[in-house]
Amino acid sequence: MAHFDLEEQEQLDAIKTWWKMYGIRGTSVVTAAAIAVIGRYGWQWYQQNQAGQASVVFSALESAIADKDSQRIKSMAGELTEKYTSTPYAALGALAAAKASFEAGDMKTARLQLAWVAEHGKNELRDIARLRLAAVLLDDQAYAEALKSLEEPYPPAFAARFNELRGEVLLAQGKREEARKAFEAALARFDERQSAEKVKAAKPEENAQNQEASARQPYRELLQHKIDALGGKA
């Protein structure tokens, strides 16, 4: 069923030796040990099998998105989130489906799909979903919900974007001073990240990071423009 490494083979050999020494008297203990070993590999097999099946459904979802078939998109995305929750394909599929739903003007479905990833997704996928959900909620003028989606914690890499979007929501609410502070916070977080990356890119072989940092310069200018428009200085 699976390949055993040295440590795992030694565990099985020990069980066999114990069985020869103690026989039927140790049946319950041996059975429990055997179940533990089988259970371990059974779980690994189950996870691999789930991922394999989920990848097939994800491919079908991509095809439905390419065809702009809204019913199939919902169906495939729903299957991923219901049957394959533990696989990365579930969150990836829900994000892709949410984008398709948004572009099709189905805000309700997009919100539900993004909310699912925000709750069940892992690491960056969860944070991306929170940002996209906040943007959709902003369009729907659901400001309180949007701000809730943008609450900390969030990773440093996303700090600028979270603060910028928070500023957009506050500005939509007419809270200009709070919005300006949020944009300033976004700019500060952006500059902090840029400085940290310049230190990392000090070596000649890491010039690619310098190029990437330069490519993000227009974003800094955008943040500064938003601050200036509100009469602030940074």
Residue 19 has pLDDT above 60, yes or no: no
Helices 176-200 & 207-215, crossing angle to 10 degrees?
A: 160
Percent of the chain with pLDDT over 90: 55
Mind listing the pLDDT tens digit for each residue in 219-228?
A: 999 999 999 9
CA distances from 180 to 62, 85, 138, 176 (A): 40, 39, 17, 6
Q: pLDDT tier at 38 (50, 70, 90 boundaries)?
A: very low
Greatest mean pLDDT range, 46-55, 172-181, 199-208: 172-181
Mind listing the pLDDT tens digit for each residue in 105-159?
A: 999 999 999 999 999 998 889 999 999 999 999 999 999 999 999 998 888 989 9
> For residue 50, what are the contacts with CB-CB under 8 A and spacing of at least 6?
84, 86, 87
Query: What dihedral do alpha carbons 86, 88, 90, 93 form, nearest 10°?
Result: 180
The residue that leads in pLDDT, 150 or 215, is 150
Distance, CA of 100 to CA of 107 (rounded, Å): 10
pLDDT for the residue numbered 207: 55
Question: Does the N-terminal peptide bond of residue 155 adopt cis geometry, omega within 30 degrees of 0?
Answer: no
Q: pLDDT tier at 233 (50, 70, 90 boundaries)?
A: low
How many residues are there in the chain?
Answer: 234
60 residue type, one letter: A
Do 81 and 90 form a contact (C-beta atoms < 8 A)? yes
Mean local confidence (pLDDT), 164-170? 96
Least confident of 39-53, 84-98, 129-143: 39-53
Residue 3 has pLDDT above 70, yes or no: no
Residue 192 has pLDDT above 50, yes or no: yes
What is the pLDDT of the chain when averaged over all its residues?
80
The secondary structure of 75-131 as a DSSP string is HHHHHHHHH-TTSHHHHHHHHHHHHHHHHTT-HHHHHHHHHHHHHH--HHHHHHHHH
Q: Sketch out the chain's domains with CATH numbers.
A: 1-141 (1.25.40.10), 152-234 (1.20.58)
